[in-house]
């Protein structure tokens, strides 16, 4: 067969061969991926627009290619079998998949790169958490309000509502792999109310409860091609790649996400014994541009949240921010910024200051709040507050002019026992 038209676009390879009588024979390969044993793909053989046979297999295996060719050939009429002999059909399939193997790597080019001063600051969809053409992971223990927060932020971007800060409007796709479709409808009622949007303000949602990310990858890719600028995935536990502590599995999950969209927001859980890290391989963190740890505390009618950026590529450091979600008998009613003082159990600044101040005093000896602040970058008021309240850890030494000097308190005899 001659005059074969080969193309590779959007992760789909195609080859069409015209046949006498205005018909054609085609081969397609999609869902291509590298696995430990080689390159796999879903391969389909078609006559005209009719599928003769298809299968997912290792395209480097001769036996699998032969089996697929034979299955497709058996589906042809005797006249077409004469026009397309099995040996010719098999040879065409072999050459096509060989081109797929080579063409995949040829998509990537080497470019001489220099600093571009016209690029400006890193573009953000939602400052300071969501980078355009980047990936963000939000993690917290189960049942702490992650889905509500993700829906609020997604809808804020979809409709350009600046409740959470500076926002850049783009089309959003929320991929719901965790909850029923009814649950999302109920939550969206409160989300729109809290954001001050009309009750019928929509958010595109792909609901596939119980399915894995890889199962809906092609649908996500299609929406991205149609103009979706942000994909939110709830959650990482539904990646569908096997054990999440395996580095290769983690890389496979993130590769899937990166091949279907350039900008993603991934919701993740924490291990039971440690709420300060994403559950699974360290490669999840490595794949993200921004990682945000969420903590929450509930009291009657409200949930307080703290958002701490633990990783940020190409972005300046940001302080921990606090938010409050208010609920009534109908669900979510409001969302607003809060202060650290509103939720002191979520405020980690005192704990962090303690480590910095004690380390500094341990190296220099006695010092004043002014000098500690100047050398560590902490606020003087925060250092003075620590000195006045933590007499279990520090002690007054003497006055030096108008400044009071403090040092690390020596342990008592009982403390050693």
Neighbours of 49 (CB within 10 A): 8
Tell me if 204 is assigned to some domain. Answer: yes
- What pLDDT, in 10s, does the model give residues 311-361? 998 888 888 999 999 999 999 999 999 998 888 788 777 777 788 888 889
Asked whether residue 320 falls in the same domain as residue 388, the answer is: no
Please identify every stretch of the chain with a pLDDT value under 50, giving residue numbers as ranges.
Answer: 413-417
Does residue 233 share a domain with residue 141?
A: yes
Does the residue 383 lie in any domain?
yes
22 and 65 in a single domain? The answer is yes
In terms of domains, do 61 and 154 share one? no
Residues 181 and 225 in one domain: yes
Domain boundary among 286, 307, 340: 340
Buried b (16+ CB within 10 A) or exposed e, 113-131: eeeeeeeeebebbbbbbbb
Residue 415 is predicted with a pLDDT of: 42
Whole domain around residue 74: which residue ranges?
5-106
Q: How confident is the model at residue 151, as a pLDDT?
A: 97
Question: Where does residue 195 rank: exposed (0-12), middle (13-18), buried (19+ CB within 10 A)?
Answer: buried
Element housing 241 (H / E): none
Judge whether 117 lies within some domain: no
Same domain, 196 and 278: yes
Q: Which residues pair with 335 in a beta bridge?
A: 325
Side-chain half-sphere CA neighbours of 281 within 13 A: 21
Determine, yes or no, domain membership for 113. no
Give the CATH number for residue 311.
3.40.50.300
394 in the same domain as 318? no
The reported pLDDT for the residue numbered 416 is 37
In a domain, 50, yes or no: yes
- Quick one: tokens of 109? 């080019």
Residue 114 domain flag: no
Structurally, how many domains does the chain consist of?
A: 3
DSSP class of residue 362 equals H
Query: Is there a single domain that holds both residue 326 and residue 411?
Result: no
Task: Indicate the residue among 340, 369, 397 that finishes a domain.
Answer: 340
- Report if residue 118 sits inside a domain: no
Residue 111 lies in a domain: no
Asked if 272 and 336 sit in the same domain, the reply is yes
């Amino acid at each position: 067969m001659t005059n074969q038209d080969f193309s590779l676009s959007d992760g789909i390879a195609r080859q069409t061969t015209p046949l006498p009588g205005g018909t054609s024979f085609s081969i397609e390969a999609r869902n291509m991926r590298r696995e430990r044993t080689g390159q796999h793909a879903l391969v389909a053989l078609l006559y005209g627009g009719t599928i003769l046979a298809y299968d997912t297999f290792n395209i480097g295996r001769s036996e699998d290619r032969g089996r697929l060719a034979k299955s497709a050939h058996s589906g042809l009429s005797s006249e077409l079998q004469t026009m397309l002999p099995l040996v010719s059909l098999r040879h065409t399939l072999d050459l096509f998949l060989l081109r797929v193997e080579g063409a995949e790597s040829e998509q990537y080019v080497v470019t001489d790169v220099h600093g571009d001063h016209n690029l400006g600051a890193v573009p953000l969809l939602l400052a300071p958490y969501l980078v355009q053409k980047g990936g963000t992971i939000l993690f917290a223990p189960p049942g702490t309000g992650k889905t509500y927060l993700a829906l609020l932020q997604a809808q804020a971007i979809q409709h350009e509502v600046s409740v959470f800060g500076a926002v850049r409007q783009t089309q959003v796709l929320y991929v719901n792999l965790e909850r029923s479709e009814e649950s999302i409808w109920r939550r969206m009622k409160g989300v729109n109310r809290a954001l001050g949007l009309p009750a019928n303000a929509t958010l595109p949602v792909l609901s596939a409860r119980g399915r894995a990310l890889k199962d809906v990858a092609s649908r996500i890719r299609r929406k991205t091609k149609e103009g979706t600028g942000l994909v939110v995935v709830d959650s990482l536990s539904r990646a569908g790649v096997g054990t999440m502590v395996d580095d290769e599995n983690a890389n496979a999950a993130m590769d899937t996400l990166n091949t279907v969209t350039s900008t993603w927001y991934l919701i993740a859980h924490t291990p039971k014994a440690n709420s300060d890290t994403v559950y699974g391989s360290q490669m999840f963190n490595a794949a993200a541009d921004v990682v945000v740890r969420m903590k929450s505390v509930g009291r009657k009618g409200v949930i307080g949240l703290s958002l701490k950026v633990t990783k940020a590529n190409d972005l300046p450091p940001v302080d921990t921010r606090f938010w409050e979600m208010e609920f009534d008998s109908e669900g979510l009613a409001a969302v607003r910024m809060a202060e650290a003082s509103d939720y002191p159990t979520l405020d980690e600044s005192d704990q962090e200051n303690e480590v910095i101040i004690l380390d500094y005093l341990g190296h220099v000896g006695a010092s004043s709040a002014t000098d500690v602040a100047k050398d560590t970058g902490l606020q003087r008021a925060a250092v003075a507050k620590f000195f006045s309240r933590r007499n279990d850890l520090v002690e007054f030494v003497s006055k030096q002019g108008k400044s009071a000097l403090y040092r690390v308190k020596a342990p008592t005899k009982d403390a050693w026992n």
